[in-house]
Amino acid sequence: MKTFEEKYTAWIDGELSGAELAAFERELEGHPDAQADRESTLKLGEFLRRNSEVAPLAHPDFFNHQILQRIEAEKTVARPRGWEWSWPRLAWAGMAALLVAGFLFKAWIPTEPQPLGFAESGSEAPGVAEIVHVSAGDPSISVTPMHDSRDNVTVLWLEGLDYLPASYNLR
Amino acid sequence: MNLRQIPLIFIALLAWGQPGSALAETKIWSAVILASNAPEPKESPEVLKPVFQGLKRFFGYNQFEILGSSTMSVDAKVEEWLVPTEHFWLSVRARKTTSKEARGAYLLNLELFHDKRPLVATEARLGPESPLFIRGPVHATGQVLVVLQVQR
Amino acid sequence: MEAEHSTDGPDDLELVAGCQRGDTAAFNTLVTRYRNRAYSIMYQLVRNEQDAWDLTQEGFLKAWRSIGRFRGQSSFYTWFYRILMNVGIDWLRRKQVKTEHEFDETLGLKNAAPGAATVPHAELQPLVQMADREIRHRIDAALLLLSAEHRAVIVLREIDGLDYQEIATLTGCSLGTVMSRLFYARKKLQTLLRDVYENL
């Protein structure tokens, strides 16, 4: 059973027919403004359509480029690595374990006192910029950290920022 | 060679590359830049050359202009500085990592503002061979980006 | 819900199969095929170039991430369009500030005159003098006052020209809900814009 609002919408859009249309038109006899309202609603739709032209996507190739870059960056982070043990690999793993042991040993050597204000993090990847923690300035901004291994760059990708028109002087 | 000697060899190698000597002459370069696509791009500033390919490949622009930059040497203590531009402000607080955290890197507290609006706050580790970029808003002529890199 | 662009070259399902094998070139072709249409509809929804750009990209990325689950039960574009609408509506929900003008859908209007809620508040303006830009500005401002759900049905119905069933499929709600939302969204826009469109 349709509600009044549903039937009214369907009536405006010409989606009622037959007995349903006749019954609803009888119901509308108590609403003398209905016909004028229907015309007004149709005019509104026409007005919205006429003024809905959108400028074409600027720099379309760049648009694709950014998407593919992000896919590549995500692949770098998410790519699963297959692994099969073999004797040469075991030998290398043994060497690597020794290296790690060396690093751990080195880590126990006392170092200079740490200034306050930074979170501790246990990563041992000195060559890569890494995001330890991030928070957006307000809820409309979203932040995605990503890493591109090809150029070894880390990017904080902010979205939801205001578009700056040409009149906005950056210099 | 006695197997028990191996850890001692590693220790000797590690002691040879002390963090102090490795980073003695490095600085952090931080900048707010405007990236754009130009039919005849201007030559990139010398200081941007090490990151030019990375910027170009990742963001797809061919021209980069520096809106504001700062270079800071960070020794044993915490250093704080600002990269001011007309509308964007990058606040940086940095110190060297200890060997417990990561050798040869810096820990940074960054805050990026658009006028008075905070856009992002982050804590990041900056490696000597790995720059950090922040993608800011799109401008009609290009895009605002932030670059931080260790300079030798 | 067809793409308005030429679909020369492999058809969508072949490209989807390529994507499912991890072929980003196939996905690039799909992005090229649908980017203008997707951007246009997203712009209608969020009314801001930067946000429309970002959110359309987000829609494509979500499609890439979940393309392994696409089983071909609808066309690629219908499937993608639904993802895109969800991205846009979620974003609007997060961003939207509730306004006191919001209609209460729990109130039945059975006994109310259908035209009663549409009396213009503002003085009539000489529309002949109103620049196109000002008209667009008025539409933007009026759409901003609609809830995410109401804005979506108005854009899909009045601007994109979809039928009720298509809107229901894309927004994941019933046919009745689509019609009801359309009723209230239209009423609100009539209230906000009647002084403009009635005098053109």
Spatial contact of B124 and B110, defined as CB atoms under 8 Å apart: yes
Token pair belonging to B12: 């000797």
pLDDT tens, A64-115?
998 998 898 887 655 544 455 566 677 777 787 788 777 666 555 444 433 3
| Chain-chain contact of C53 with B137 (C-beta, under 8 angstroms) | no
Asked whether the beta carbons of B35 and B143 are under 8 A apart, the reply is: yes
Residue-level pLDDT at A130: 83
Window from A15-29, A68-82, B114-128 with minimum mean pLDDT: A68-82
Distances (CA, A) of C52 to C33, C144, C145, C188: 17, 14, 18, 24
Query: Residue B147 CA to chain centroid, in angstroms?
Result: 6
Of A119, A128, A155, the CB nearest to B135: A155
- Which residues have C-beta within 8 Å of that of residue C153, sequence separation ≥ 6? C167, C171, C178, C181, C182, C185
Q: Does ipTM top 0.90?
A: no
Identify which of C49, C51, C136 has the shortest CB distance to residue A51: C136
Query: Number of A:B CB contacts under 8 A?
Result: 195
Instruction: Please tell me which residue of chain C has the smallest CA distance to B137.
Output: C50
N-term to C-term CA, chain A: 63
Contact C35 A47 (CB under 8 A): no
- Note whether C54 contacts A54, CB cutoff 8 Å: no
Rounded Cα distance between A46 and C41, Å, is: 17
Residue type at C13 in one-letter notation? L
Relative to beta strand B106-114, strand B88-96 is antiparallel
Distance in angstroms (rounded) separating the CA atoms of residues B94 and B29 = 12
**Gyration radius of chain C's alpha carbons:** 19
Please name the residue of chain B whose CA is at the shortest distance from the CA of residue A139: B119
| Distance (Å) from the alpha carbon of B137 to chain C's nearest alpha carbon | 8
For chain C, give the number of residues: 200
Q: Which of A118, A121, A141 to mutate to test the interface with B (most CBs of B within 10 A)?
A: A118
B100 CB within 8 Å of a chain A CB: yes
User: How many angstroms separate the CA of residue A84 from the nearest CA in chain B?
Assistant: 27
Element (DSSP H or E) covering residue B89: strand B88-96
Residues C62/C87, Cβ–Cβ less than 8 Å = yes
C49: nearest CA partner in chain B: B138
Q: Which of A89-93, A139-143, B146-150, C112-116 has the lowest mean pLDDT?
A: C112-116
Contacts of B138 in chain C (CB under 8 A): 49-50, 53
**Which token pair is B33?**
């830049």
What pLDDT band is residue B134 in, cutting at 50, 70 and 90? Answer: very high
What is the separation of C-alpha A86 from the centre of its chain, rounded to a whole number of angstroms? 42
Contact residues for B145 (Cβ-Cβ < 8 A; gap 6+):
B32, B33, B34, B35, B55, B59, B64, B133, B134, B135, B136
Query: For the residues C19-24, what does the mean pLDDT come to?
Result: 94
Annotated domain spans of chain B: 22-151
- Range name among A71-80, A89-98, C10-19, C148-157 with the lowest pLDDT average: A71-80
How far apart are the CA of A36 and the nearest CA of chain C, in angstroms?
Answer: 8
Q: Which of B14, B15, B58 sits opposite A155 (nearest CB)?
A: B58
Dihedral sign of CA atoms C58, C60, C64, C68 in order: positive
The structure tokens listed for C162 are 């979809």
What the block records as the tokens of C37 is 């249409």
Q: Chain C: nearest CA to A141, how far in angstroms?
A: 9
Chains that touch A (3 or more CB pairs under 8 A): B, C
**What SS3 state is found at B118?**
strand
In DSSP notation, C45-64 reads HH--HHHHHHHHHHHHHHHH
Percent of chain C with pLDDT strictly greater than 90: 50
Query: How many pairs of residues across A and C have Cβ atoms under 8 Å apart?
Result: 144
| pLDDT tens per residue across span A111-160 | 443 332 333 334 444 567 888 888 888 888 888 888 887 788 888 988 88
CA B38 to chain A, closest CA, distance in angstroms equals 12
Which residue segments constitute the domains of chain C, with CATH numbers given?
12-95 (1.10.1740.10), 116-197 (1.10.10.10)
**Which residue pairs from B91-95 have beta carbons closer than 8 angstroms and sit at least 24 positions apart in sequence?**
B92/B28, B92/B30, B92/B148, B93/A117, B94/B28, B94/B126, B95/A114, B95/A115, B95/A118
CB contact under 8 A, C109 and A5: yes
CB distance from C134 to chain A under 8 Å?
no
Residues of chain C contacting A37 with CB distance shorter than 8 Å: 114-115, 118, 190
With contact defined as beta carbons under 8 Å apart, do A38 and C115 qualify? no
Element (H, E) at C137: helix C132-144
Q: Do B140 and A157 touch (CB under 8 A)?
A: no
Q: Beta strands B117-126 and B106-114: pairing type?
A: antiparallel
Both structure tokens of B48: 């941007």
Residues of B in contact with C50 (CB under 8 A): 137-138
**What is the average pLDDT value for chain C, to the nearest integer?**
80
Rounded to an integer, what distance in angstroms lies between the CA atom of residue C57 and that of residue A74? Answer: 14
Subunit contact A64:C183, Cβ cutoff 8 A: no
Longest dimension (CA), chain B: 67
